[in-house]
């Protein structure tokens, strides 16, 4: 299949491109487009045939449900059985934005969107192109990240092309995304809402609006099955083995020398502040340590960049788990398959 590219530099001047992309979604094709978090791969959420194409193109396990993207509150009401008070408050505060809310599923949604669950995950993205495509298609659009399953999520149209060219109908290129990490997923079907996946909106921000919010225990302890099915899979991984290193720059450098002694080609994932402290084959800074938002924004781009160097191993610094640092560490830990070396624990 040839993948069509639509370049959208200006939302108003490029409306014919948006209209065409929306037409293709209405015709049950899959089309990638930017959101404020990462690029999504969108399909008509009412059509199991269209949604099936997402799973096929990504190689996504069929038990991993998709997030439905909407542009109006009327669409939300049609997709769920009820909207609890907690969800209403969160919607008022954070939509459009990087917050996905899990609610009880209504009728009509294709079964493969929710992987057979009785709940459905929904969000309203804060990106003019995403909102224009949804409005123009006049459909709820199921859209996971537009990468091959297991790879880092795409933050540019080029990343989407690398992974999915020839496998999807089209890509809307609207430049680099802003947040850089996927949405926070919060389950509002329980009395006390629970964070199933950390993301751009932090627990502290949610608690300011609705009081107590719990966190899926599986996110903090090993050996428990996560409530968000997607989180049990290895994800975001670069080609080379990734190892997280907790401790001083000297301790990380020591790991680099040990690996080099055994003939390995070694990369280091660090920050603008720390990059001068290392000697390795490839050193890539990921934002500035003083600004975790910038680390989040560049993380996937840097993980993908390492694939250009044919490395054997990448040693990565760790980040404080405060605010968006929680989501950064959640993604890095997944990417490393849980492989962590600590200077403080033996
Ligand atoms: P992605 O679409 O790649 O950003 O991943 C969506 C995430 O939301 C995955 O981790 C899914 O497991 C999770 N998710 C989607 N729907 C539900 C649901 N109904 N209940 C719990 N988690 C969900
Ligand atoms: Mg994804």
Domain ranges of the chain: 4-219, 241-342
Q: Select from 3.40.630.10, 3.40.50.150, 3.10.20.30, 3.40.50.11030 the CATH code of 241-342.
A: 3.40.50.11030
The ligand 1 atom nearest the CA atom of 121: 16
Residues facing 105 on adjacent strands: 80
Pocket-testing residue among 55, 64, 177, ligand 1, by greatest number of atoms within 8 A of Cβ: 64
Question: Ligand 1 centre and the CA of 87: distance in Å?
Answer: 17
CA 346/CA 334 separation, integer angstroms: 21
Q: What is the mean pLDDT of each run of 10 residues along the chain (346 residues)?
A: 94 92 98 97 98 97 96 97 98 98 97 96 98 97 96 95 98 92 96 95 96 92 80 84 97 98 98 97 96 95 96 98 93 92 88
Span from the CA of 196 to the centroid of ligand 2 (angstroms): 14
Ligand 1 atom at minimum distance from 227 CA = 21
* Intra-chain end-to-end CA distance of the chain, in Å: 52
Look up tokens 């209403």; give the residue: 88
Residues with Cβ within 8 Å of 141's Cβ and at least 6 positions away in sequence, in order, are 25, 40, 42, 43, 44, 45, 68, 69, 70, 133, 134
Distance from C-alpha of 269 to C-alpha of 281, rounded to nearest angstrom: 11
pTM for this structure? 0.93
From 43, 59, 65, the mutation candidate for ligand 1 (largest count of ligand atoms within 8 A of CB) is 65
Phi, psi angle pair for 220, to nearest 5°: -115, -15
Looking at residue 227, its pLDDT comes to 87
Half-sphere exposure of 343 (CA within 13 A, CB side): 13
Ligand with minimal distance to 125 CA: 1
- Distance (Å, whole) CA 339 – CA 325: 18
Of all ligands present, the nearest one to the C-alpha of 100 is: 1
What are the tokens at 140? 């709820």
Cis ω before 96 (30° cut-off from 0):
yes
Give the residue from 143, 341, 144, 153 showing the smallest Cα distance to 238: 153
294 C-alpha to ligand 1 centroid (Å): 24
CATH class of 4-219: alpha beta
Q: Please give the pLDDT value at position 206.
A: 98
Sheet holding 241-246, edge to edge: 282-285, 266-270, 313-317, 241-246, 340-342
In the DSSP assignment, the letter for residue 227 is S
The pLDDT value given to residue 232: 76
Q: In the structure, which protein residues have their CB atom closer than 6 angstroms to any atom of ligand 1?
A: 64-67, 102, 114, 117, 119-121, 144-145, 182, 185, 196-197, 227-231
> What does the pLDDT read at residue 230?
80
User: Which residues line ion ligand 2, judged by CB < 5 Å?
Assistant: 145
**Cα torsion through 115, 117, 121, 122, rounded to 10:** 90
């Amino acid at each position: 299949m040839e993948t069509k590219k639509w370049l959208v530099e200006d939302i108003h001047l490029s409306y014919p491109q948006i209209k065409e992309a929306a037409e293709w979604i209405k015709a049950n094709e899959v089309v990638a487009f930017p959101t404020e978090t990462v690029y999504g791969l969108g399909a008509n959420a009412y059509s199991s045939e269209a949604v099936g194409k997402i799973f096929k193109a990504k190689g996504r396990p069929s038990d991993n449900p998709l997030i439905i993207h909407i542009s109006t509150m009327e669409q939300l009401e049609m997709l769920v059985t009820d909207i609890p008070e907690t969800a209403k408050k969160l919607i008022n505060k954070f939509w459009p934005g990087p917050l996905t809310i899990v609610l009880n599923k209504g009728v009509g949604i294709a079964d493969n969107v929710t992987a057979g669950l009785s709940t459905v995950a929904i969000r309203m993205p804060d990106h003019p192109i995403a909102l224009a495509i949804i409005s123009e298609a006049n459909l709820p659009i199921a859209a996971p990240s537009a990468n091959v399953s297991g790879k880092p999520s795409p933050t540019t149209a080029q990343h989407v092309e690398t992974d999915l060219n020839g496998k999807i109908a089209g890509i809307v290129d609207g430049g680099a995304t802003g947040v850089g990490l996927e949405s926070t997923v919060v389950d509002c079907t329980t009395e006390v809402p629970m964070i199933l996946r950390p993301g751009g909106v932090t627990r502290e921000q949610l608690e300011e609006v609705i009081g107590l919010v719990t966190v899926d225990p599986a996110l903090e302890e090993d050996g428990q099955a996560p409530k968000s099915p997607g989180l049990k899979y290895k994800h975001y991984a670069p080609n080379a083995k990734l190892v997280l290193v907790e401790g001083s720059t000297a301790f990380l450098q020591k790991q680099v020398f040990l690996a080099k002694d055994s003939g390995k080609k070694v990369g280091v994932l660090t920050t603008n502040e720390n990059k001068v402290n290392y000697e390795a084959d490839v050193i890539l800074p990921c934002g500035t340590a003083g600004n975790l938002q910038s680390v989040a924004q560049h993380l996937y781009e840097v993980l993908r960049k390492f694939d250009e160097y044919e490395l054997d191993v990448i040693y990565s610094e760790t980040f404080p788990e405060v605010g968006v640092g929680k989501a950064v560490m959640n993604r890095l830990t997944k990417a490393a398959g849980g492989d962590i070396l600590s200077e403080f624990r033996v």
